[in-house]
Structure 1
Amino acid sequence: MEAKIRLENITHSFKETGLVLNGISLHVNDGEFVSIIGPSGSGKSTIFQTIGGLLKPEGGDIFLEGRRINGETGNISYMPQQASLLPWRTVLNNVLLAQELAGRTDESEVRTWLAKVGLSGYENAYPHQLSGGMKQRVAFIRALLSPQPIMLLDEPFSALDEFTRFDMQKWLLAIWEEKRKSVLFITHNIEEALFLSDRIVLLSPRPAKVIKEFKVPLNRPRTDRLLLDDSFLQLKREIYGAMKEGETHESH
């Protein structure tokens, strides 16, 4: 089966800081949720910028559904750390934006999904009238309903407090289960990656290379109880150990 997106030996460097990506290879299959974990500054966001076409990799290739897309924009939907809603557009029109840019809109579909995520009645509200969690829900639905075949989620819950963050993780999974769009997710948080993902790709400190890949053999749908499950805790220890080992190797 052809992967939805595939990176083959991607390298990139910046004049100021030198090599950032050191031969990154990874893939996301159709309907799969894959997380990237790595230390701060390891190059996770640079990977997203190369996939999105904002940066052209110096070496290697990126394939979307088998087609090479190096340096091309418009192929992915993206949810950043901050919700990035346009303050002059209503909730409804913010969600419609991605569809407008692609040349098709479906207002009834947007209204249905806003209702599913508890935002019925907020269609005509503006971003400044929403809480942080509500803004993130709007941004997620915008990404989910955009026509591109893969979603890139860049630490979308990092600015939220721990309780809101876990609620948002559970909410994201419930919504994602319905549509099963292919997702590549960046996080620093091992628990978050385990709770959400089918696979986890672990990066070394900068310059980033893939240290290890973990399959997450936990059944879906996932619930709160999973966080105390022995298999969950064992996987968490394994990933933490691999991260520490990778950091030690890089420092020598």
Structure 2
Amino acid sequence: MNMKLFDTHAHLQDPRVAGDMDAMMARARSVGVARVLSCGTREEDWGALAGLAGRHPEILPAFGVHPWFIETLSPDWVNALGQRMTNDAAAVGEIGLDFAVDGLDRGKQEAVFLSQLRLAKALRRPVSMHCRKAWGRLVELLKQEGGLPHGGAIHAFSGSVEMVRECLRLGAFFSFSGSITRPANHKAKKAAAAVPDHRLLIETDSPDMLPAEVPGPLNEPAHVIHVVNTLAAVRETTPDEIAQTTWENAVRLFGGN
């Protein structure tokens, strides 16, 4: 069986990899990567992302404002985001909460997150979410907003087994990255074992979050195979089964079949 892989979270518009895109996508295809969801982080990278998706049919765009960049917003950013999503029939991401970084205004993070969540709901789009040290608040806000009616992925999931159960009820999918390949990351492995088949996803978070023992300095979509192999071991199944399950789930959530 030839694997067909969907890397559901990357940042291929990142200037660090801009000069290597053709070779990088060829390496991805060589291991079976047929789709990559590349996520925006701020207004300034949306144009580059749209151009990249236009040049590489494997790349699906998601547009959004990451919590690290909430201070870079223009006054009309919500309308600009809505226009981007309408033009490109895109997902919304990367959005979320990060309470691990000192100095990021939590109230503003929540306001920006909620604006994007509501826009996604209005346009019937899935979301790709970031969460660090903010699990309780993320769940509260999702409950307040009626969950994720059009689906959403929690990328590089780092929560507990109990958080898997909480977020499942809200419509979340759970994406695992290179961090799960680290031998000491027992928490992520326990969480990955607890995710139902129909909500499991894989990603690289390229060009960051290198899998264990992969030479750097930068990550790329081809390395998603290491996540597949680790998940197969954790879930006591085969890499082919993980590939097929996560492909079907990602296409159901983000499109691009």
For the superposition of Structure 1 and Structure 2, which TM-score range results when normalised by the shorter chain?
0.3 to 0.5
Output the TM-score relative to the length of structure 1: 0.39
Higher strand share: 1
Q: Give TM-score, length-normalised by structure 2.
A: 0.39
The structure with higher relative contact order (CA 8 Å, sep 6+) is 1
